[in-house]
C-alpha cells in the first residue's frame, strides 16, 4: 500500500468533513468562507478544490488579486479584520502546518 496515497485520502476525508461543516453549519459569510476554502486548497495543493472554489469565490466578490494573494499564502491587503483572522487559521490542520 502506498502510504502517500493513504495520507492523501485521510486528508481528503477530514477536509471534506470540515468543508461540509464550514459550508452548511458555519457562520462565516460567503466571501470569507470561499477565501478560507481557497486558502486550504492552496495549502494542500488541491487543484480540483482550487478550481471549484476559486470560481465560487469570484462569484461572491473575491477579486482575482485577492485570490492570487491567497494562492501564494499571503493575506490580501484588502481583507477585512474578520477575513484576516479566518485566513490566518485556515491551513492549520495539525501541529506541523503553518498558518498564513
What does pTM read for this prediction? 0.71
pLDDT single digits (tens) 40-49 = 999 989 999 9
Query: pLDDT for 76-92, tens place per residue?
Result: 999 999 999 999 988 75
Three-class DSSP category at 77: coil
Query: Residue 97 has what DSSP assignment?
Result: P
Long-range contact list for 96-99, CB < 8 A, 24+ apart? 97/43
Dihedral, CA of residue 28, residue 29, residue 30 and residue 36, to nearest 10: -40
Amino acid at each position: 500500500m502506498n502510504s502517500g496515497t493513504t495520507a492523501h485520502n485521510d486528508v481528503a476525508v477530514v477536509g471534506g468533513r470540515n468543508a461540509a461543516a464550514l459550508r452548511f453549519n458555519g457562520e462565516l459569510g460567503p466571501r470569507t468562507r470561499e477565501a478560507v476554502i481557497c486558502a486550504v486548497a492552496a495549502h494542500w495543493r488541491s487543484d480540483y478544490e482550487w478550481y471549484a472554489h476559486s470560481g465560487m469565490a469570484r462569484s461572491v466578490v473575491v477579486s482575482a488579486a485577492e485570490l492570487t494573494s491567497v494562492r501564494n499564502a499571503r493575506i490580501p491587503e484588502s481583507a477585512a479584520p474578520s477575513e484576516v483572522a479566518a485566513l490566518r487559521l485556515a491551513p492549520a490542520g495539525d501541529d506541523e502546518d503553518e498558518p498564513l
